[in-house]
């Protein structure tokens, strides 16, 4: 008889700071996202701590008074993990671990852990391993203080490497080996991309958990893994799609996130080549999220980093079935109307109006407005195809009757 498997979540505490550039509402949103990341990694948040501070403490990130408050809660509630919303320096992490005597993670190490769990293929695992080693290298001192022999003095002189130097060398060698391995796979993938011929390439990009994989499944009639968790998709998936009588390649890419670790952007550059080489980007946005405009900015920033921000793009506003807005009572003369009170029609009359035909509103899950979406994609892909092959114009008439 099979035993029922129960998942045990690690008890965790979240810590964020409020400064001049971040108000209380913004910090709450960031910690909500950090809590979702924690849940995705297998943790359960017991409490959040927020401190108003202009500059982080160089030793412990938060002030000594707040640190004592966190320490008391950790001891009293037997907390095993404390997670900070920003990246900690190796020194800060060392000092905090010494005081709290539990596992200390920052946003970067948490995202790296989720990527390590989600990586399925050998290629993705290699990319994540490289990012983890690059993150680990400057933090080795904190992990091996009990083996270090660099204090000098009586009994400490002698030939040979110290343990810490040995480990640093091993990690550097491993990083070099992984980079060579990725370089080899990159060449293979470049050959694969070349073998795909001159088909038009369309790439789905967007913040994590906006419904890219669900949309991929609907358009391509395939079964790409999709889940309501952050970074459900790590491995790039390419499918041949035919709309009407027009074939093209559709790529599902890794989701972006605010403060995406630089190690990951670096190690996943080859995966992002699919975005660089795409003829058309479908920027998928979760319009039901209260801060979707910030998500758009985060994605555009990463697209700019990989030099893909000038590509032909269609904004796909997904999850219209989950969209809600705040309302103001007729007799309420005090509340000021803000973007939180906008309906979808009112949103269309804001900056979205400037996007014009390059925006579309759908629900991939409930298949709302998908015919209009297919027609828009068809027109765009056909325009690229006809530009590339002018003599093929007669093969692709402007209708979708055969679809």
pLDDT higher than 60, residue 163: yes
More confident site: 51 or 401: 51
Closest CA to 344 of 285, 401, 295: 285
Rounded to whole angstroms, the Cα distance separating 168 from 170 reads 5
| Amino acid 2: pLDDT | 40
| Amino acid 149: pLDDT | 44
Q: How does DSSP classify residue 54?
A: S
pLDDT higher than 80, residue 180: yes
More confident site: 240 or 15: 15
Residue at token pair 């959040």: 48
| Amino acid 263: pLDDT | 67
Q: Is 197 helix (H, G, I), strand (E, B) or coil?
A: coil
- Which of these ranges, 53-67, 293-307, 337-351, has the smallest mean pLDDT? 337-351
Report phi then psi at 16, rounded to 5: -135, 165
Rounded to whole angstroms, the Cα distance separating 29 from 85 reads 11
Give burial (CB, 10 Å; 0-12/13-18/19+) of 139: middle
How do residues 10-62 score in pLDDT, each as one tens digit? Answer: 889 999 988 877 778 888 888 998 998 898 888 889 999 999 888 888 899 99
Which residues of 181-303 form beta strands (DSSP E)? 201-206, 237-243, 246-252, 280-286
Task: Provide the pLDDT confidence category of residue 283 given band limits of 50, 70 and 90.
Answer: very high
| Amino acid 170: pLDDT | 83
Please compute the mean of the pLDDT values over residues 363-392 and round it to a whole number.
85
The contacts of residue 156 (CB under 8 Å, 6+ apart) are: 149
Instruction: Measure Cα distances from 74 to 13, 39, 109 in Å.
Output: 8, 19, 20
Q: What is the residue-averaged pLDDT of the chain?
A: 79
pLDDT higher than 50, residue 6: no
| Amino acid 399: pLDDT | 55
Task: Provide the pLDDT confidence category of residue 195 given band limits of 50, 70 and 90.
Answer: low
Percentage of the chain surpassing pLDDT 90?
13
Percentage of the chain surpassing pLDDT 70?
79
Report phi then psi at 233, rounded to 5: -110, 120
Give burial (CB, 10 Å; 0-12/13-18/19+) of 224: middle
| Amino acid 347: pLDDT | 85
Which residues of 329-372 form beta strands (DSSP E)? 359-361
pLDDT higher than 80, residue 177: yes
* Residue length of the chain: 403
Please compute the mean of the pLDDT values over residues 93-121 and round it to a whole number.
85
| Amino acid 3: pLDDT | 42
| Amino acid 22: pLDDT | 76
Rounded to whole angstroms, the Cα distance separating 394 from 304 reads 37
Identify the helix (H) or strand (E) that includes residue 12: strand 10-18
């Amino acid at each position: 008889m099979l035993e029922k498997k129960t998942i045990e979540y690690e008890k965790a505490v979240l810590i964020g700071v409020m400064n001049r550039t971040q108000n209380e509402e913004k910090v709450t949103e960031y910690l909500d996202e950090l809590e979702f990341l924690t849940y995705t990694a297998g943790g359960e948040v017991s409490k959040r701590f927020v401190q108003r501070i202009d500059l982080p403490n160089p030793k412990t990130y938060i002030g000594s008074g707040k640190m004592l408050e966190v320490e008391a809660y950790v001891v009293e509630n037997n907390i095993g993990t404390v997670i900070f919303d920003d990246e900690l320096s190796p020194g800060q992490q060392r000092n905090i671990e010494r005081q709290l005597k539990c596992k200390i993670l920052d946003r970067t190490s948490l995202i790296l852990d989720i990527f390590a769990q989600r990586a399925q293929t050998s290629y993705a695992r290699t990319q994540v391993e490289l990012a983890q080693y690059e993150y680990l290298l400057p933090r080795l001192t904190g992990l091996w203080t009990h083996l270090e022999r660099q204090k000098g003095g009586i009994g400490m002189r002698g030939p040979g490497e110290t343990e810490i130097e040995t480990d640093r060398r091993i990690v550097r060698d491993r990083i070099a080996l992984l980079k060579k391995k990725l370089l080899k796979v990159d060449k293979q993938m470049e050959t694969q991309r070349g073998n795909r011929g001159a088909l038009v390439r369309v790439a789905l990009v967007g913040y994590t958990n906006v419904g890219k994989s669900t949309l991929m499944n609907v358009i391509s009639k395939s079964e790409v893994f999709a889940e309501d968790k952050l970074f459900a998709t790590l491995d790039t998936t390419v499918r041949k799609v035919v709309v009407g009588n027009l074939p093209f390649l559709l790529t599902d890419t890794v989701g972006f996130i605010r403060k995406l670790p630089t190690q990951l952007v670096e190690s996943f550059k080859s995966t992002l080549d699919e975005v660089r080489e795409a003829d058309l980007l479908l920027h998928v946005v979760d319009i039901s999220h209260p801060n979707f405009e910030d998500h758009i900015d985060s994605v555009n920033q990463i697209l700019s980093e990989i030099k893909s921000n000038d590509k032909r793009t269609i904004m796909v506003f997904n999850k219209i079935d989950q969209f809600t807005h705040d309302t103001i009572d007729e007799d309420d003369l005090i509340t000021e109307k803000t973007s939180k009170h906008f309906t979808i029609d009112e949103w269309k009359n804001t900056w979205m109006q400037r996007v014009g035909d390059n925006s579309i509103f759908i629900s991939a899950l409930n298949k709302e407005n998908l015919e209009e979406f297919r027609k828009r994609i068809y027109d765009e892909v056909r325009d690229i195809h006809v530009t590339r092959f002018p003599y093929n114009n007669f093969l692709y008439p402007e209708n979708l009757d055969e679809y």
